Structure 1
Amino acid sequence: MDRFMNNRWFMRIIALLLALMLYMSVYIQEQKEQSDGSLTLPLFDDSTEILEDIPVEVLYDQERFVVTGVPQSVDVRLEGPTSKVKTIIALRNIKVYANLENKSEGNYLVTLEYENVDDKVNVTFEPTSRYEVALHEKVTQEFAIKVDYNESLVTEGYTVENLVPEPTIVSITGAKEEVERTAIVRAYIDLQDVIDDVTLESSVTVHDKDGQPLNVEVEPANISVGVSIISPNKVVPLNFIEEGTLQGIYIKNIEMVPDKVTVYGPKNVIDSITKDDVIDIPIDLNSITKDEEIIIPIKLPEGATKIDPVEVKVAIDVEEEVTETFIDIPIVSEGLGEGLALSFSDLENGALDITVTGRKSSIENISNSNIKVTIDVANLPVGDFEVPVEVSILNEEGIEPVDISLEIPIENVKVNISGIE
């Protein structure tokens, strides 16, 4: 076989035979088309085919007008020589159009036209080739978007706090009559199973006042919607807890801002929070040396998903520790029996110096008159005794000062009880 293929005379004969076959094919086809149909070779019969859903192009001034009444597509019936019909079917390059060029606003009866079809092929359109169409004035207006959702699909206990479309305004372009009917421009979002803040995508739809969709263009056709979701929540008070000790100072005042937070979480967790529950804020006293303001993060309660705010500002006012000695506070005896006299064995003037240490604000309101030093000699007979000393202090308002300590030079005094002659 390779020997024949390499023989140039063999190849020339093959080429000649192919040329003769092509010539005969064309000749027979032309004879058939010119004859009364007596040639009936199946290969060259007429045939009928239908091309479905061929797009219809409309030629018009798209800057000025919007067209209505032209179908988006039609079915095309092709009748003619089989070879030519099959070629059109295979290439599917037929162009169908409605010519409204150089037309002004108004109504027209237009006949569909076509291109890229051999003259020997008959073309018809289904359901029809003639349509009543209209050119409308083209307008563009801007409208605000309304975001809708199905409230029944929102997870129980959760609340939609805010919906923010981006952008908030869209451009509506179409026939003037259609645009003027615009009543609702909205984007629908599905919030089923949404329990956290999220951004969703949505297409924009346009409707008239009766809810019927309008044949207009929207720019942009799709938008994003930021969704803020509030989970079940409760407001819980804050309670500060002092940890550690202060050295040489006292806390005068502690103020927390805020004094309560909102706790968010699943419904069962939030329902378990009672009115008596608080969130403890630990304050490390070891690090406090002066007035200062500190920021303390708030620990998220177990099972909760979020708190607001997440930290608390604590303003701490302190005051210094002072020491003051009050001189010659007289000792008062209580319960001395009738007909008896008392004298001090080791105190010439029957008085003591009392040293008080504590917060400055407490000591500033103390004077000698506020300090009472007493001994209890009730039921003691004549003789020498050692009696415990008791000291009490009340400030000017008659209230015992807080955060003070006393230093008494002696715990007991020696007294002599004698009869009165």
Structure 2
Amino acid sequence: MNNWVQNDMLLRVVSVALAVMLWGSVTDATFTAPTDGDRTQIRDISVAVKYDKNRYELVEQPQKVMLTLYGNDAQLERFPSTYQVFVDARNVGAGTHSLPVRVEGLPKGITKQVEPKEVEVHLEEKVQKEMMVRAEFVGDVPDGFKVSQPIINPSKVLVRGSESTLERVTSVKVMIHLNKQEQSFDKQLRVQAYGESGVLQQVDVNPEAVHVQVPINIPNKEVPLQVGVEKGPPPGYAVEEITTNVNKVTVYGPEDYLEDLQVYSGPKLDLSKVKRDQTILAPIPVQDGAIKVEPKQVEIYVKMVRAETKIFKEIPIELTGLREGATAEIISPAGGKLNVTLSGSPAQLAKLNHTDIKTLVDVSNLPVGTHEVPIQFILPSYVEVVGQPEPKAKIKIAE
């Protein structure tokens, strides 16, 4: 027995045999390939990239990977979605790098295999440039209102990103939503970089927001105010004078409306029951085409007197609207002249002469033949025709 133990060759053989058995048992326990029942595969996983975003720009996302997980059925069924698949590029500089894919957040007892094991990451060093901020309007203001040039502070910002990305930046803008806004406003608005295809997300803008003042106003024009008389005084009375505390008003409205506006028609007075001097506070109406008028009301002083009448003889009748190729003859009143009796204040009548009185007959579109046409009077203010209700002229139209 002692001889057998002391035999060096035999001991060596036994040692090798034991080593082989031990290796086999360890290998079987640790590296046995799992069966289909205790593994799961997750395809097309996006790989996050950890890098210094202040210095570098990730030009494009790395390729997607497939993750194979190993474990028992219970572990795989309760597998959480909070794991992370990423590459760490914080210790590399600009350029293209092949980096190992790492997985964190797996529960204990689950092993993994990633395919491919490495992905390429392309980083570019960030550069910056200064650009003017432009304003772009979304929507509109109500009709007649006008938006003036916005005031942007600061007017310039720094745009930062990779060199290739900055080459695609065509403008930096703030979007101003008007939404039928009627008053000027100011607010902080986000600044975004734009390329030919729209917003560029890979660009940093500093500052991210700017203060924008948007002036909104209505075009306006100052014109004389005209106060009219809708119903004249009762019989026997006349208006000698009408004065107002304001002679001009500011009219707000579209530019095309204001362009042709020379006089603004104000209140129309009903004096049918007024026999003595009176002060009237009346609102100034907003006429069609206007948006508003300032001031909103006017104080009107009406001076009343006893009326007188005066006859003006042989006022010639004028014809208007005669078509080309036609002739017109005034049959009556004889000689194409009319005697007119006017009523008004003594002061007004004293100043009138024949040239201040116009009588018109409109023969527009009249066919050949004889027609009775109303006579129209154009008279100075606060003077009216009396004793001739609805006067007419007999007109003969011929070719």
TM (norm. structure 1) is 0.43
Instruction: Tell me which structure has the larger Cα radius of gyration.
Output: 1
